[in-house]
Structure 1
Amino acid sequence: MQEMNREFIVPGALAVAEVRSGQYIGEIVEVNSPRAVFKVLAVLKHPEQGDLHHPYNPDVAMFHERRALSYTEKTNVLLRDLKPFEGEVPDYNVSLQEAVSAQIAALDRLMRWSARGLELLKELRKEYK
C-alpha cells in the first residue's frame, strides 16, 4: 500500500479527522508522532449512536449515546486519520446542526426501508403457506 503524503501535518494546518465515528474539520495544534493534537472547528459527520460492534441492533447491553466533540475541543488523533482540508471552515453550530440533520435523515430513511421490507415479507409469508 502506498504511503500517503503527510507533509500537510504541521501545527496550524487545517485537516479533516475521523474521531470515534464522527468526522471533523479542525486545526493541527501539535504533532507527536504517531499522533497529533487536533482542535475541533466544525462537524462534517455526527458520531453514530448505539453499539458500533453491533450496528443497527437496538437490543444490546449498552446503547451508546455519542455527542459530537465541542467547538475548540482538543483531542489526540492518529496521523493516519488526518486528511488535508482546503476551503472555508463552516460555522461550528451550523455544521453541527447540518450533521445531526443528515444523521436523522439517514436513520429515517433506514426506518422507512425497514418498515417497507417488513410489510412485504409479511405478505410473502402469507403466500408461502
Structure 2
Amino acid sequence: MQSTTSEQVDDLPAIINWLSQMQIPFLLDEELPRPHGNRQGLSYGQLGVLLLTYILTQADHRLCAVESWVRQHHQILEGTTGWEIRDKNCSDDRLADLLSVLGGSENDALINIETVLGLTVRPF
C-alpha cells in the first residue's frame, strides 16, 4: 500500500521562483569559486537560494536551523527546484562556507553580484 505524506507549501514556490528570476543561483555560481572538491551535492548558488528562502519564510538567520527546515520541507523544495537535495547538503558548515566565500575580501564577487542585482531595481 502506498503511503501519503503532506507538507505545508506556504509561499516557498513563489519565493524560489522570484529568486530564480533574479538569477541568484546563476550569479552566485558564476561569481564564486567552486566549493572544495570533497564537497558533493548542491552548488553555492543552489545553497544560496535555499538559505535566502529559509530566511525570508522563517524570519530567522540562524544557520543551525536550516538543515532541519529543509528536512521538513524536502518534498516541496525538491519539487519546486528540481534539485536533488540530500540530508547534509544544507548543514550549517556548508552554509558557513558559502557565507565565508561570499564575504571574503580576496574577491570582488559581492560587489559584482550587488551591481548586477542593482540593475533589477526600477524606480517608479
Q: Same fold (TM over 0.5)?
A: no
Which one has the bigger strand percentage? 1
Q: Which has the higher contact order (CA 8 A, sep 6+)?
A: 2
Shorter-chain TM-score tier: under 0.3
TM-score (structure 2 length as normaliser): 0.28
